[in-house]
Chain A
C-alpha cells in the first residue's frame, strides 16, 4: 500500500502554489468576491500558456498527457485557494470531448484555441424544467435548409457571460424516446437571439440564465451525430471525476485551527472550549476521509480500473459533511463570525460566514445527494431502481 500521490503530482502542487503566490493577487481575489464570475481571463490565459487547460488531454491530441494524480494536485490547489477555476475545469473536459467526438473542423480550428486560452466554452445542460433529469431537455433545434434554429432556455450556465460558446444539449427529435432525440451543439454567444442574464447566488457566485430565441447556427456547430447527443454528454461527464470538496474542507479546517490557536494561550495543546476541540477533530476526520475517497477514485482512474460508485461516494460523503461542518463550526463561533469579509472585527476575514453561505450548493449541483444515494443504492447495494 502507498497513500502518497507521488513525485510528479507533488511537483505540480509546488508549481501551482508558486503560480498562485505570484499571480493570484489580493486584487484578483477581491474582484472574484465582487463579481462571482468563476473565471478570470488574464489568469486563465497565463494558466493556458503553461499548458494547464489541455494538461489532461492525451498527448496524441496535443495535450499535456498529465496523469490523474497530477490533475488532482492542480485542481486541489486551485480550489483550495478559492481560485476562479470553473472555466479551466469545464474547458479541460470540453476540449477533450471535442478531440474525441468533434468534427475534423472543430478539432483543427476550435480545440487549439481552447488549449491556448483564446476561447472559453460554458456548459449548457441544465434547463429551468430539467435539473437532475438532464436528458429531459426541452430546448429545441429544427433544421431549416443548411442551418439549425434553436429555441429554448438554459439555466445555471456558469461562466456563460464570459464564454464564446455554450456547449448546449438540445432536443432534435421530439418523438424519439428521451435519450435518443438529443443533439449537442456549440452555440456562439454572440449569435443574434442569444440573451444572457445574470443569476446571483447566496454563495457569491454569478451564474446565468441563457435564452435562445430563434438562434440560427450552422450545421458545422454540431458536435457528434444528430440525435446522438446523449453519447457526447456521457463522454464529457465520464471525464469528470466526482471530486468532492476535500480541498475546501481542508481550507476551512486550517482557518478554524488557526483561529483556535490564535485565540488560546501559547504552548497549550488544549483548546479551552472542549466543544470546539471536538468539532476541530471531527472536521479533521471528515476532511481526511473525503480526501481518501477522492484519492481512491483517482487511483482507480490512473490504474484504468472500472469504477462503480467510488466517485459518487466521494461526492456524496464530502458534500454532506462539508455542509454540516460549516454549520457546526459557525454555531460555535458566536456573532462575530457573522461579519463578512472586509469588515472590522470579522473572524478569519469572514471565512466562516462565507463557508456557511457557500456550502449548501455542494449537496445540489453536479448531482444532488438524493440522486447520488439512489445511484449508490442501485450499484453498490443492488437495490431496485428508485426515484
Chain B
C-alpha cells in the first residue's frame, strides 16, 4: 500500500496550486460570474500544457493518467477557476480512443483551442432535442450517445449562457438544428462512452473535493477568529463539532476519488462503480461542508461580500450536473449489482 503522491505528482500538484493562487484570485472568479469562463485564464492554463495532459503523444498530448488529471481538477475546485477542464479532458480522451479520429480536431483540443464536451443523459431535456450543458456557452462541439451511435455535433458558436445558480457557463442547445457526424457504433462504442462519462464524473468529484477543502478552511479560519461572548466561536462545541465532522468527510472524499482514479488502470472492474460513488459522495460532502462553513459565518456568510457563498452555490450546481447526488447513489447500487451478476 502506498497512499502518497509520487515526486512528479507532487510537483504537478504544487505547480497548479501556485498557478491558481497567482492567476485566479477571488476577484477573477467574481469577475466571471456572468459568463462562467475566463478566456485569458484558460489560455494561460493551456500554456502549461493542461489541455494536452490526458491525451496521447501522437496528438500532441502528454500521455498522463486520470489520476494526474484529478489532481489538477482538485486545484480547480479549490480556486473555483472558471474553466471547462473536466469536460474537455474527458471528451478529448474519448475521441483519442476511437478509430479514424480527426487529427486536426485532436490537435486543437491538445492546444486548448478546440473546446468540446460530452453529454450525459441527465443533461438531455425532456421531450425534444435540447441539451443543457454545464459549459454549453463555450464548447463548440458535443458528443452524445444515441441508440447504438456515438455522435459528434457542432454547436452554435458563442452561445450565450443563461443566468444560473452556480455562475457556470451553462447553456441550452437545440440539436435538431445540427447534423451530427457518426464517430462509432455498437457495444464497444457504448462502453467507451460510459467510461468517458465516468472520467468526467470523477474529475467533477475531484473538483468538489478541492472545493470542500477550501470551504472547510474558510469556515475554520472564521471560527478561530470571530469573537463572540468574549471568546473565539471555535471554542463552542456547537460551532466546532460540525466543522470537525466535515473535516473527516473531506479526508474521506479525497481518498475516495483518488482510489477511483487509481482503479481506472489497476482495478478496472470497479471503475464505473467507484466513479459514480466518488461523484455522489464528494458532491454530498462539498455541499454539506460549504453549508456548514457558510453557517459558521452567521449573517455575514449569507452576504455576497463574503466568499463562502461562491462555494455554496457552486457545490450545489456541480452536484446537479449528472442528475444529482441521489441519482448517483442509485447508479452505484446498479453498477455493484451488475458487477455481482457478471461475477456469477
Contacts and interface: CB of A to CB of B under 8 A. Distances in A.
B235 A285 contact: no
A281 interface: yes
B341 interface: yes
B247 interface: yes
10 contacts: A1-B2, A1-B6, A278-B329, A281-B277, A285-B277, A285-B281, A285-B332, A299-B2, A316-B244, A376-B245
Interface residues of A, number: 56
A142 interface: no
Interface of A is mostly: helix
A294 B227 CA distance: 36
B328 interface: yes
Given A6-B1, A288-B256, A381-B220, A373 B277 contact: no
Contacts of A317: 248-249, 252
B220 A261 contact: no
A277 B333 contact: yes
Q: How large is the interface on B (under 10, 10 to 19, 20 to 34, 35 or more residues)?
A: 35 or more
Nearest to B270: A288
Interface of B: 1-6, 67, 216, 220, 223-224, 231-232, 234-237, 240-241, 243-245, 247-249, 251-253, 255-256, 258-259, 262-263, 266-267, 273-274, 276-277, 280-281, 326, 328-338, 340-341
Given A1-B262, A3-B263, A281-B329, 4 more contacts: A1-B258, A376-B244, A380-B244, A386-B235
B277 A69 contact: no
A361 B73 CA distance: 39
A281 B332 contact: yes
Given A1-B3, A281-B332, A299-B1, A269 B248 contact: no
Interface in A272-325: 274, 277-282, 284-285, 288-290, 292-293, 295-296, 298-299, 302, 309-310, 312-314, 316-317, 320
Nearest to B329: A281
A373 B240 contact: yes
A269 B341 CA distance: 8
A267 interface: yes
Contacts of B266: 2-3
Given A69-B1, A373-B241, A292 B330 contact: no
A364 to B, nearest CB: 15
Interface of B is mostly: helix
Contacts of A280: 329, 332-333, 336
A219 interface: no
Given A261-B340, A289-B281, A313-B251, A281 B241 contact: no
Contacts of B4: 1
A373 B2 CA distance: 27
Contacts of B245: 316, 320, 373, 376
Interface of A: 1-6, 69, 257, 260-261, 267, 269-271, 274, 277-282, 284-285, 288-290, 292-293, 295-296, 298-299, 302, 309-310, 312-314, 316-317, 320, 370, 372-377, 380-387
Given A377-B234, A386-B237, A274 B334 contact: no
Nearest to A385: B235
Contact of A386 (B236, B249, B267, B330): B236
A224 to B, nearest CB: 33
Contacts of A5: 1
B234 A381 contact: yes
Contacts of A3: 1, 3, 259, 262-263, 266-267
Contacts of B1: 2-6, 69, 295, 298-299, 302
Given A4-B1, A278-B326, A376-B248, A261 B241 contact: no
Nearest 3 Cβ contacts at the A-B interface: A281-B329, A281-B332, A313-B248
Q: Among the interface residues A5, A267, A269, A320, which one has the most CB atoms of the partner chain B within 10 A? A: A269
Nearest to B254: A292
